[in-house]
Structure 1
Amino acid sequence: MNRTILTAFTANIALASPAFAETDPLTDIIVTGQRATATTDEIESDKEIISTPDAASLVARAPGAALLDNGGLSGQVQYRGLFGDRILVRIDGQRFSSGGPNLMDPPLHYAPMALVDRIEVDRGISPVRKGPGLGGGVNAILKEAQFSQGSAMQPHADLTAGYRSGDNSYLMGGLVSLSNERVKFGVIASYEKGDNLQFPDGTIASSSFERLNFGAHAGLKVGDGSLTLSYRRQETDPTGNPPFPMDIQYFNTDFLSLAYEGQLDDNLYLEVEAGHVAIRHLMDNFSLRQGPASPADQRGTFADADTSTAATALRIGTPERHVRIGADVETLDKDVRITNPSNTAFFLTSLNNISGSRVGAFVESRLGFGPVEAEIGARFDHHRMEAGSPLLGSAVPMGPRMLANGFAAWDRTWSDNTVDVTARFWSDMGNFKPRLSFAYKTRVANAVERFSWLPTGASGGLADGNIYVGDLNLGNEKAWIAEIGFDYQDSRFYARPTLFYRRVDDFIQGVPYDDTPVVIDSPVEMVANMNGDPTPLRFGNVDAEFYGADLDFGWHISGPLHLDGTASYVRAKRRDIDDDLYRITPPNARVALSWQEEVWHLGAELHAFADQNKVSATNSEQPSNGYLLAGLFGHVALTSTLSLDASVENLFNKNYTDHLAGYNRVSGSDVALGARLPGAGRSAFVRLRWTGL
């Protein structure tokens, strides 16, 4: 019997409870919107009810994952304590650099929920074929036209519309396509708009959002393979970011990709792809929020990022037994220009003419040792990056001018080589499948960490309220990783516990700028003090470790009654000094009880978070209290092509703060300046989905 996958939709970013067989069928397990192999979880968007517009909320369903909420469209994925560009996040397999120096546009910013088909999450360790990355990997797959049967062109549509009461927001969008057995054409589009978010004590100022997406793609069968060309445009209009000193005014972004994959003969499978992403961005500190009292303090920052990629891989053998060899290249051009809209003579390039490249090659093998399956791989990458001299207007004061001159005198070129190695082992022993993984992974410093000569609040999305400056001499992060777990399933129960450990040398984070942090005795500290922070941080290398456990499980209690749940624990701390790492999710667990019939189901969920007292003194992080949230959810198939989903999140309108939320930087809000941003109050969500033609 084929695997049966029914849905248990939940309210507060519902439960992740995937079945886990790689090739074996499941007979009686009913699961909540996920499928899994020994190495990958696959989260299907149409099997989930996510009320927020941020696709990072969907990834947060996976065991060990969490959401860092930096604004309605700026959420980052945290996975087993890592976040930012330590997680290899891609859209349709395409890598690209964020346009914003504060990561206002993390990769999933470009994955509207109305267009997401599914999200693939690498379990624990990302394989080397997908590129370098310190943590796991995430790939958001957008809806796409599919080849159909026969020579006649056949139409298809997949359309979604939704409304959320908590911020009076709505979404609409989807896919319309035309295809036959050899040709396919598709058009995608979506639009979302929301007001400021409500919480039990008022309104979070500067939390509204607006986003438009549209694009087209075409595919052609070529022999035993297929060629696909796609273009997509995203226009993010004014969108609030209360944890940051500025809000989004726009992100205008173009995606272009060309890919071929196909069977060359019985034992050769070729993949070739190329792509380009161009991001144009403006943020400011006065349009959406209460601006500075003096026009001299108004700021508008323009940022551009262009990423070009190309990759090829050849698989020799079968899907179950093969060697895969490949190579990839990535180039980056980046600029950040700070201006004062009321004074054209005030401008300075905090990142000017940043250019970088990475050229890599890998070999990976899927093999077996008796009952043991294995995937073993290694990759080599050569990295290069350089920065141009800063450009300054005549109205820039002497302090920043001195720092710019000092930076211009330094050698601003950097290059290095990295090596990554991964090894995964698992065995199919009937109901019981043990798993074991080891890896050595690396990450190089990004442009903000290495080349930020000007002390600003740009921190790559940390949102801790500190002012940062970069370091040209940063070393590469190097992580030794191990994890062990098992997957168990029978006709009524499944569970997937995992223990993990990650030891990171030269971990990059903020450290005191010098040995006298309370004494302003350097030009950097003087400029930082002028900008409101007399104790700036410098990106530096430290030693760290992460360890913990996560679990997801499900139980078919009786008839249509089901219980599903997840639990996650991660501990992250410095090894060089007695301190904890910043913004780590507290221990948490959730359970959902659902009644599932053939065409409808209903359920309720509880999500509990413990206190988080293991906080970073270096980052001035505040502890947080635990809390318990309740939600309701439901689904009904109105017809064979039309379905309705509904949920209520935070059912009892609890006033709470998520430990991973940033600190408010907006004056005139119902949230105090410097206070951790509260979670949404009670909110209802409804969604209609139609698939037909």
Structure 2
Amino acid sequence: MSSIHLASVSALALSAFLTPAFAQNHDTALQDVITVTGIRTPTEVDAIEPNMEPDTGPDAAALAARLPGAALIGNGALSGQVQYRGLFGSRLNIRIDGQNFASGGPNLMDPPLHYAPAPLLAAIEVDRGISPVSDGPGLAGGVNAVLKRVDFASADEAFRLRYDLTAGGRSADASHSAGGIIGTSSDTWRMHILFSNEEGNDVDYPGGTIGGSEHQRTVYGAGLGWQSNGHEFGLDLRRQETGATGNPPFAMDIRYFNTDFARSFYAFPAGDMTLRLEAGYTAVDHAMNNFDLRPAPPAMQQRETYANSESRTLSLDAVWPQAAAEWRFGIDHQDDDHATRITNPNAAGFFLDSFPAVEMQRTGAFVEWRGEVSGWDAELGLRTDLHNANAGLARTGPMVPAMPGMLANAFNASDRDIDDQTLDLAARFWRQEGNVTWRITLARKTRVAGYVERFAWLPTPASGGLADGNTYVGDLNLNPEIAYIVEAGFDWSRDGAYFRPTAFVRHVDDYIQGVPFDATPGVIDTPVEMVSNMNGDPTPLRFANVDARLYGLDFDFGYAIDQNWRLEGVFSYVRGERRDIDDNLYRIAPTSLRMALTREAVNWSAGLETLAVAEQDDVSVTNSEASTEGYVIFGVSGDWQIREGATLLAGVSNLLDHRYERHLAGYNRNAGSDVAAGTRLPGEGRSLWLRLHFQR
């Protein structure tokens, strides 16, 4: 498990094997980090030994959701999204090992953390409140999933075998997983190979089984690095193959995702500055259908959709230290291509290019300064980006009814080449006074419309992962979202106790939200409504600019009762409202409190965790969102260090086998399930789990 010095005790949250801590080279006032390690710290040194991190399943988003302000949006075993202070999806700047890329599916079945399997995960870094402008654009905080690798050795170490391996299983879905890295390094060279495999069956809940909720995922790859005299080069290659995986909240399930990643960088000194040149490439090939993992509809209603995307990134930045301050400048470019075709596997003449040859380009430049302002540490940043989005010609097959063809012709006749420019400003201040660090954040952050929001000419359930059962169409004239952000809080720690509250307000102009297609919802008098009605939804939504506000409070806290017992907790509250009409934003996390009591000894620990979630009745009428009741669930976990570098971890989640509904889970659309179609998906039942971790 990981360890945290008492001076940084405020970074603790409610986990052990995966424990929030402050990363090296990052200010504790600005970032939370969930770290993964296998080294137990002796109790006699000035450190706090972590407890066991309870099992969260195969989705890395569930780990990030344990931090203050964060929550899990469950769209399937491998399709979960992180919500942070009410925002999710493309509004968060989510990266894998610092690499930005476009997901492959129009319904975000492969959100970025889909590509961070737990056996390969070293850390999850979460920017508190907002991302620095140097990390790229984004309306809210940033999340970076850091994968395991072999680091350079010290100067007096020779090449030797290094590894970090994990294997485990859990009963809720009869799943198993294994993987990790093996490599070697010197002070000049490092190299490793990696592998991960995960498989699971349908998930059990109290009262039955969630049909079509199984998962399959395999990852393999390699990396190497070289350094000498201030120069450093790195190259990482990775292949991920996701097999048949269920998505009960969606109209289809994953048949496959075949995804290739390549990333390289070169850092070198240039006078007083350090320059870093980085290039990345990602290619996603995706298929989904409505008949493999759920009861097959009649032949002419069967659908298989093929989607692909490519991302190319290039960046150059410079770090220039100056006395007690530091400047950072940079330029970056990202080019994303998307294409989606809907087919009927039983009829070659039935196809629709719902997203035809879409290209999204962004070129940005930033400047960032760190130093002292009137006794406060400060980070000030400015970023501007030029965006271009365009789409090709929509096509429909000869067996497609005439009405979708009319919509395609209207789309083809429109101006499908759109330019936007955005400006981001960020100012973060923090100051330590004794046991307290005060924090203030002021920012203007932006986001342009995604390709689904912009170019969806055909009314389908594709919505970027909203999973609300509605059909949507896009709007070519969407304005960029602009958020004005104010946050304030403090970090206090003393004598084994800590408390870290943050209050925040986000005032968002031109928030992109689904609204009724026209002024007469339910009256089917337009081609879009006619096609949507043919697809089962007589009241389609269209993406539009509205006004919104999000505000709330979150904190974590802890108290070392004595040298063996520790109490910790995380509280999160967020409220999301429309400012233009009397309605709430869709899929906002309910208030929650997580607490854990842990007993630690020299080579073992055990703990009891409680999660209390309030009812959520501040729901979106526009999105036909149902309210949910509150619930309380318990879990127990423990760990035993078998020997140095070998740890056994075990536990039981949902100890009392309580049936509950997670508000951020979607509504079931798989008829082959014990969960009624159209009702909210329940949380999993009692689950026994076991994990072995080996590290050298």
Q: TM-score, normalised by structure 2?
A: 0.95
Q: 1:185 aligns with which of 170, 186, 191?
A: 191
Query: Which residue number in structure 2 is paired with residue 408 of structure 1?
Result: 412
1:144 aligns with 2:149: yes
Q: Do the aligned partners of residues 137 and 67 (structure 1) sit closer, same or farther apart at CA in structure 2, a change above 3 Å counting?
A: same
SS of the counterpart of 1:558? coil
Give me the whole-angstrom Cα distance separating, in 2, the residues matched to 1:6 and 1:254.
Answer: 39
Query: Which residue number in structure 2 is paired with residue 87 of structure 1?
Result: 92
Query: Which residue number in structure 1 is paired with residue 646 of structure 2?
Result: 642
Query: Which residue number in structure 2 is paired with residue 169 of structure 1?
Result: 175
Q: 1:674 aligns with which of 673, 678, 684?
A: 678
Give me the whole-angstrom Cα distance separating, in 1, the residues matched to 2:4 and 2:591.
Answer: 36
Equivalent position amino acid for 2:652 in 1: V
1:260 aligns with 2:266: yes
Give me the whole-angstrom Cα distance separating, in 2, the residues matched to 1:17 and 1:55.
Answer: 13
Q: Deviations over 1:2-46 (max 9, x none)?
A: 8269999999x88998566989xxxxxxxxxxx971111111134
Q: 2:108 aligns with which of 96, 103, 114?
A: 103
Query: Which residue number in structure 2 is paired with residue 29 of structure 1?
Result: none
Give me the whole-angstrom Cα distance separating, in 2, the residues matched to 1:374 and 1:9.
Answer: 24
1:131 aligns with 2:133: no
Q: Where does structure 2 lack aligned partners over 5 or more consecutive residues? A: 38-49
Equivalent position amino acid for 2:83 in 1: Q
Q: Deviations over 1:149-199 (max 9, x none)?
A: 347322101110010010000100000001111111110110000000000
- Cα contact 2:280–2:314 (8 A) shared by 1: yes
Q: 1:243 aligns with which of 249, 254, 265?
A: 249
Q: Do the aligned partners of residues 152 and 506 (structure 1) sit closer, same or farther apart at CA in structure 2, a change above 3 Å counting?
A: same
Give me the whole-angstrom Cα distance separating, in 2, the residues matched to 1:528 and 1:369.
Answer: 56
Q: 1:160 aligns with which of 147, 158, 166?
A: 166
Please show how residues 244-323 of structure 1 align to structure 2 within 5 Å. 244-265=250-271, 267-292=272-297, 294-317=298-321, 321-323=325-327
Q: Deviations over 1:440-469 (max 9, x none)?
A: 000000100000000000010000000001
Q: 2:204 aligns with which of 193, 198, 206?
A: 198
1:317 shift after superposition = 0.4
Query: Which residue number in structure 1 is paired with residue 471 of structure 2?
Result: 467
Q: Where does structure 1 lack aligned partners over 5 or more consecutive residues? A: 24-34
1:371 shift after superposition = 2.7
Query: Which residue number in structure 1 is paired with residue 434 of structure 2?
Result: 430
SS of the counterpart of 1:496? strand
- Cα contact 2:119–2:177 (8 A) shared by 1: yes
Q: State the percentage of identical aligned residues.
A: 51
Give me the whole-angstrom Cα distance separating, in 2, the residues matched to 1:10 and 1:162.
Answer: 23
Please show how residues 211-250 of structure 1 align to structure 2 within 5 Å. 211-250=217-256
Give me the whole-angstrom Cα distance separating, in 2, the residues matched to 1:8 and 1:43.
Answer: 9
Q: Deviations over 1:55-107 (max 9, x none)?
A: 00110111000000000000000000000110100000000111000000000
Give me the whole-angstrom Cα distance separating, in 1, the residues matched to 2:157 and 2:495.
Answer: 42
Give me the whole-angstrom Cα distance separating, in 2, the residues matched to 1:622 and 1:563.
Answer: 35
Q: 2:33 aligns with which of 42, 51, 66?
A: 42
Give me the whole-angstrom Cα distance separating, in 2, the residues matched to 1:417 and 1:606.
Answer: 46
Q: 1:581 aligns with which of 575, 578, 585?
A: 585
1:273 shift after superposition = 0.6
- Cα contact 1:126–1:136 (8 A) shared by 2: yes
1:263 shift after superposition = 4.2
- Cα contact 1:16–1:566 (8 A) shared by 2: no
The alignment yields a C-alpha RMSD, in angstroms, of 2.0
Q: Do the aligned partners of residues 167 and 59 (structure 1) sit closer, same or farther apart at CA in structure 2, a change above 3 Å counting?
A: same
Please show how residues 502-541 of structure 1 align to structure 2 within 5 Å. 502-541=506-545
Give me the whole-angstrom Cα distance separating, in 2, the residues matched to 1:574 and 1:260.
Answer: 46
SS of the counterpart of 1:213? strand
SS of the counterpart of 1:475? coil
- Cα contact 2:441–2:487 (8 A) shared by 1: yes
Q: Do the aligned partners of residues 425 and 77 (structure 1) sit closer, same or farther apart at CA in structure 2, a change above 3 Å counting?
A: same
1:378 shift after superposition = 0.4
Q: 2:5 aligns with which of 3, 7, 13?
A: 3
Give me the whole-angstrom Cα distance separating, in 2, the residues matched to 1:448 and 1:621.
Answer: 21
Q: Do the aligned partners of residues 93 and 17 (structure 1) sit closer, same or farther apart at CA in structure 2, a change above 3 Å counting?
A: closer
1:540 shift after superposition = 0.6
SS of the counterpart of 1:129? helix
1:592 shift after superposition = 0.4
1:225 shift after superposition = 2.6
SS of the counterpart of 1:428? strand
Equivalent position amino acid for 1:122 in 2: D
SS of the counterpart of 2:519? coil
- Cα contact 2:215–2:243 (8 A) shared by 1: yes
Q: Deviations over 1:487-511 (max 9, x none)?
A: 0011221010000000000100100
Please show how residues 496-645 of structure 1 align to structure 2 within 5 Å. 496-645=500-649
Equivalent position amino acid for 1:42 in 2: V
SS of the counterpart of 2:558? strand
Equivalent position amino acid for 1:554 in 2: G
Give me the whole-angstrom Cα distance separating, in 1, the residues matched to 2:680 and 2:649.
Answer: 32
Query: Which residue number in structure 2 is paired with residue 32 of structure 1?
Result: none
Equivalent position amino acid for 2:491 in 1: D
1:636 shift after superposition = 1.1
Aligned residues: 678
- Cα contact 1:15–1:592 (8 A) shared by 2: no
Equivalent position amino acid for 2:293 in 1: L
1:586 shift after superposition = 0.5
1:333 shift after superposition = 0.8
Equivalent position amino acid for 2:606 in 1: L
Q: Deviations over 1:642-670 (max 9, x none)?
A: 00111211000000000000000000210
Structure 1 segments (4+ residues) deviating >6 Å: 5-11, 13-17, 19-23
Give me the whole-angstrom Cα distance separating, in 1, the residues matched to 2:103 and 2:312.
Answer: 13
1:61 aligns with 2:60: no
Give me the whole-angstrom Cα distance separating, in 2, the residues matched to 1:374 and 1:131.
Answer: 19
1:683 aligns with 2:674: no
- Cα contact 1:262–1:269 (8 A) shared by 2: yes
SS of the counterpart of 1:497? strand
Equivalent position amino acid for 1:213 in 2: V
Equivalent position amino acid for 1:415 in 2: D
Query: Which residue number in structure 2 is paired with residue 208 of structure 1?
Result: 214
Give me the whole-angstrom Cα distance separating, in 1, the residues matched to 2:320 and 2:12.
Answer: 41
- Cα contact 1:18–1:36 (8 A) shared by 2: no
